[in-house]
Chain A
């Protein structure tokens, strides 16, 4: 911002605040609401976290695949790709999926794996987007799962395409059980520095949805209409 604009902004607001009537304002400090929320939820056991996560996500028509271990996760993703009759996958790079060899397996199954990056130059960008858009399946990891809302936290970055959880009609996310948190507030309290580390962090709560037409629920309007979380 230009220095003169910043100065103008500050003086305009400073004058206004002097005259403002702001009912309900009180000094900052750790509030009772904040404290109680952290405490009552920390008590949940790992099994309770899993069952709550599953219940919440299934209520939104998301699919939870509970498997044991990395091997089983790898198999399950291949099965999902086969069930979807996918021929192209838009994916994070292998190392960020944290399931070794998965992309190689998918290629072995005859799928084309695309991982970006998307170029900046206008024409190259348009061509790249047109190709990536043809993927039937998006594959990502997830940094965290939030048990009380059935959400997954997905972070962008090098080798971590935002588009993988966005462009294809089906999104598959790999989430280790150790990544489950009781709630968004609990996760933010511990991991808020993550938000600044990358340009985009999205909390995904179920498939893309709209109820704009006659308040009738319809899925997959712009984002994926199906969301699969492989919990391993």
Chain B
């Protein structure tokens, strides 16, 4: 989960791509409107969000009990539950299982956690075939690209891009890609064959219900249902934080998820799976004969035991991406991480460490729009600041920032030096400024003026001005305001 280019280079690339910015701008604006309209239809959206937040906080506060109960219930209904402390354990379980069962071909429905553990790479490295079946993820896979949005993976692509991909990679004709419905029908035909011949289906999980061992998987296309119904074996990967204690809790969360995500009241298919197909004399007519639930920790328990635990409340609706002024300019790829946007700026360094991701907590103006739209009111700005502080303490980030801050601290705690430095800086900036603005700063400060001007400092420092005013008005002004 690391990116080849430094963050500022990725941002420059994104900002230079007019097509990308147009597409992201239009898509996020529509999603913001859709969410607002959908929430307006709820009798008491604010109280429902408070309730959602309470449910998530309580579930995580008892995660050990809840997961234990969940595991018991999954097994009671004939499923297998597996503990995967890290990505390596998780992918190895799947590859070993596929080999043991003689599976050659795997179909997959959209899932963030399998992107996080880079499952596809492991499957292909083992010589097996894996097909992404969500339309967006299918295009991403054919293009060897990465998703740019949690919910809408190909919002950065035009229909012409996708038509070209279908023609180049899977032999579509001009008629197959004449318009969007034709392209959708083409993908249906292609992928249907993969569904019917796959030996295994792999899915993520939106919510795991502790009291019943039920998996809830929400999709609109129906690929999630096919993945979990047609192949003989279903393997579900679930981040350990996705637990809800009861079905009543699920009723609350479902009212929030689709509305916040796509502006729908419910997704087209809200699929509840409790164990594999029931065997015996009165056997169920279809469904997978085996169900495996892989519980993925991969850093989550570490996050739980920290001041960042609140990020685990997230239900992956993507509303914070759509609302974020930074995401809306740069899109998902510039973050360089599986999880983009405000939630990704916290979650990625929280589980992946700051050594690789110290830039992400800075990809925010701290305006608070993410907190405002979050269905469970996660205080993302608070955690971005906590991560920035942690990065500084742990010594991540560029050397000149560390040196600069150290120098500032040295100066700021010495009043005489501070006054002197203030005067010197004010004089110096007035020397290089033209019409009160500085358009080029030297050395490591050049980054500041590359895209914007820096105003020259006032010729006299604040302290000088203050002193002057006090002298003018005698003792009339109290210094209490300072």
Contacts and interface: CB of A to CB of B under 8 A. Distances in A.
Contacts of B285: 115-118, 156-162
B272 A203 contact: yes
Contact of A213 (B43, B180, B214, B379): B180
Interface in B173-194: 180-181, 183-185, 187-188, 191-192
A17 B64 contact: yes
Given A13-B301, A19-B305, A184 B271 contact: no
Interface of A: 1-2, 5-6, 8-10, 12-26, 28, 31-34, 36-37, 40, 56, 60, 115-118, 120, 122, 125-126, 129-130, 133, 148-149, 151, 156-163, 166, 184-185, 188-189, 192, 195-196, 198-216, 218, 220-224
A97 B481 CA distance: 79
A5 to B, nearest CB: 4
Nearest to B217: A202
A195 B272 contact: yes
Nearest to A207: B268
Contacts of A6: 68, 71, 83
B212 A218 contact: no
A200 B236 CA distance: 14
A212 B134 contact: yes
B309 A20 contact: yes
Contact of B284 (A125, A156, A222): A156
A196 B184 contact: no
Interface centre among B68, B185, B187, B265 (most CB of A within 10 A): B265
A26 B59 CA distance: 10
Interface of B: 23, 26-27, 30, 43-44, 47-48, 50-51, 53-54, 56-58, 60-64, 67-68, 71, 75, 77, 80-83, 85, 133-136, 139, 152-155, 157-159, 162, 180-181, 183-185, 187-188, 191-192, 196-197, 199, 212, 214, 220-223, 225-226, 228-230, 232, 240, 245, 247-248, 250-252, 254-255, 262, 264-278, 282-287, 289, 295, 297, 301-302, 304-310, 313, 377, 379
Nearest to B103: A122
A205 B264 contact: yes
A200 B285 CA distance: 11
B251 A185 contact: yes
A212 B153 contact: yes
Contact of A212 (B61, B135, B307, B379): B135
Given A16-B302, A148-B265, A203-B270, 13 more contacts: A17-B63, A19-B306, A22-B57, A56-B265, A158-B282, A159-B285, A195-B247, A199-B284, A205-B268, A208-B268, A212-B154, A216-B159, A221-B188
Contacts of A209: 220-221, 268
Contacts of B71: 1, 6
Contacts of A166: 222, 225-226, 229
Contacts of B250: 188
Contacts of A188: 247-248, 250-251
Nearest to A59: B265
B305 A16 contact: yes
A17 B303 CA distance: 10
A198 B274 contact: yes
A212 B50 contact: no
B214 A202 contact: no
13 contacts: A20-B306, A26-B58, A158-B284, A192-B248, A195-B247, A199-B77, A202-B269, A203-B270, A205-B268, A205-B269, A213-B184, A215-B152, A223-B226
